[in-house]
Structure 1
Amino acid sequence: MSRLEASIYLGLIHYPIYNKRGAKITTTITNMDLHDIARAGKTYSIEKYYVVNPLKSQQSLVRRMKKYWESDYGAEYNSNRQEAFSILDIAASMENVIEDIFRETGSPPILVATDANPFANSVSYSQMREIIFAADRPILIIFGTGWGLTEKTLQECDYILEPVYGRGNFNHLSVRSAVSIILDRLLAEEWWV
């Protein structure tokens, strides 16, 4: 496989998201998602990890945590965390993320959704690896919180990845676990050849 040239971005979407009753909601940002996804993103050379939440109070929370790990005592205490948090950014909407990537790269990103459910047009990990490694535009991989991305969000994406399947029937990973698995499947060196 050729060398990866495309810039890869992550989006963790907190709105619009479904709750377990199918209503559209805004989910709360969790500390563990910020830390663990930033660390996984930095490990796989992600350009930027966007936390998407329209609530000012939630945005403020992310900014405070980012500041702590980048410039306060946290940076002194744990320089690895400081480095991981360097890719973290906050956005009010997906539109803001797309505009930011366009401003940064000069191209609109290819939008790749993830979901725990299969769809008729889902693409496999091997197909998506080929798409990513052939891409001449940035790639934005989005992950939902709560009970998943809305139908409208999924329809706006260029691709929907197949679910992460384990060995059994249980399929309820935390989003940070799913991010790590998916990044490895899409971006890791080919260890299986």
Structure 2
Amino acid sequence: MELMNLLLKRRSVRNYTGDPVPREKLEAILEAGLSSASGRNRKPWELVVMSDRDILEKLSHCRTGAARMLEKAGCAILVFADPEKTHVWTEDCSMVMSNMHLMAASLGLGSCWIQGRLRFAENGESTEGFCRRLLGVPEEYALEAILSVGIPAAVPEPHKPEELKKDKVHWESWKSKTPQQATGHQTCSAAELRGI
């Protein structure tokens, strides 16, 4: 249940004190990201860590209305990938982001996922192009997302188990919303299977 408590505790934090993230905590977050699973173990990701205050201020303009928290973040971790390595690079990089997000929460830090792929900067440029130009990232690398990380100015309340939307789960077929409804339920007949 320790993992479940962490999952409930993890929240998107957008307000930071502006203080730096301790190096040992940052290293732990990066290790969590690097330990992520990936399709065929290709590990297509490249992580760019940014803690320079001037660059963070510039990065805060990389997404229209969605990246201003970077001005006060302790750092940003940008997750790029080489799409030539695998066709599931977006999924692989999303797992990196999720692992880092959870590790930050476990260490008492705040973090927030800032989507980069298929998004636009305040100047109309793609978020990917904006970040690539600002950080000198080679053309062959694509941006998935940015994780803002920092000391939270306020800590949101954890999610409550009773708030989980269990009606989003379908048991054995789309129609069954509880395991009891699914008991003895045949998803489709042999005749129906032949018609598929």
- TM-score w.r.t. length of structure 2: 0.23
Structure with max Cα Rg: 2
TM-score, normalising length: structure 1: 0.23
